[in-house]
Amino acid sequence: EAGVAQSPRYKIIEKRQSVAFWCNPISGHATLYWYQQILGQGPKLLIQFQNNGVVDDSQLPKDRFSAERLKGVDSTLKIQPAKLEDSAVYLCASSFSDMDDFYGYTFGSGTRLTVV
Amino acid sequence: QKEVEQNSGPLSVPEGAIASLNCTYSDRGSQSFFWYRQYSGKSPELIMFIYSNGDKEDGRFTAQLNKASQYVSLLIRDSQPSDSATYLCAVWGNNDMRFGAGTRLTVKP
């Protein structure tokens, strides 16, 4: 089966600009996650979707970050305005259902964001 | 605050040796435990999971879980230079997955 697709692979923007990332999960996977991984740290969950509903967005900085998953398939994550500390890799993952967390899930290749 | 702790390393072992990676967690309600491998510049890749006390073997990899001690480990036998990567421990419970910061492993030829 095709994996989790993400784009772009790399993005460089200036602080205060906006940026958007796209994710297409594995076909049929109901649950989609966005993670932020800062260099030298483990991934941190930003938001979890079940179909097109939000399950957990407690760690999403809502003053600047937003995410949507229209039609319960692909998803976009937006940052506006970006700050220097947003420089990180943004990882998308998906699973068939949230119970699949019991067995782990698959990450996409990630988008490396550099804010200058 | 649910914490997952790992030694950051680097851990260096010679080729053919056993590499031992350790992880502790704070949430006693945690149910499943995962090891991900992450090569530099790549995304994490699931290599093993375990949810029962004891050992679970898969090829050269063995995961060990001790829930009483809140401790999970990964042993890599016959380590190869291609095993050089960062190993992330992840803990799942109550629909919440938490990652450690990872241990960097270097296998020297």
3-state class (DSSP) for residue A72: helix
Q: Tens of pLDDT along B19-66?
A: 999 999 999 999 899 999 999 999 999 999 999 999 999 999 999 999
Does residue B90 sit at the A interface (CB-CB below 8 Å)? Answer: yes
Higher pLDDT, A105 or B78: B78
Q: Which of residues 39-58 of B touch A (CB under 8 A)?
A: 42-46, 49, 51
Residue type, A41: Q
- Looking at chain A, the whole-number percentage of residues with pLDDT higher than 70 is 94
DSSP annotation of A64 reads T
What separation in angstroms does the CA of A106 have from each of A3, A57, B12? 8, 20, 28
Residues A43-90 have pLDDT tens digits of 999 999 988 899 999 999 999 999 999 888 999 999 999 999 999 999
Q: Which residues of B touch A108 (CB under 8 A)?
A: 43
Distance CA B73, CA B85 (A): 16
Count CB neighbours of A80 within 10 A.
13
Q: Band of the pLDDT at A101, cuts 50, 70, 90?
A: low
**In this complex, do A101 and B90 lie within 8 Å of one another by their Cβ atoms?**
no
Looking at A40-44, A92-96, A109-113, which range is the least confident one? A92-96
Asked whether residue A99 carries a pLDDT value surpassing 80, the answer given is no
Between A101 and A65, name the one with better pLDDT.
A65
CB B32 to CB A106 under 8 A?
A: no
Closest CA to A37 of B59, B28, B38: B38
**According to the model, what pLDDT value does residue A71 have?**
84
- Give the per-residue pLDDT at A100: 59
Is the Cβ pair B88, A55 closer than 8 Å? no
Residue B58 C-alpha, separation from nearest chain A C-alpha, in angstroms: 15
pLDDT at B16: 97
Give chain B positions within 8 Å (CB) of A42.
4, 88, 90, 99-102
Output b/e per residue, B29-60; b: 16+ Cβ within 10 A.
Answer: ebebbbbbbbeeeebbebbbbbbeeeeeeeee
Q: A104, B99: Cβ pair inside 8 Å?
A: no
pLDDT of residue A97: 66
Report chain B's mean pLDDT, rounded to a whole number.
94
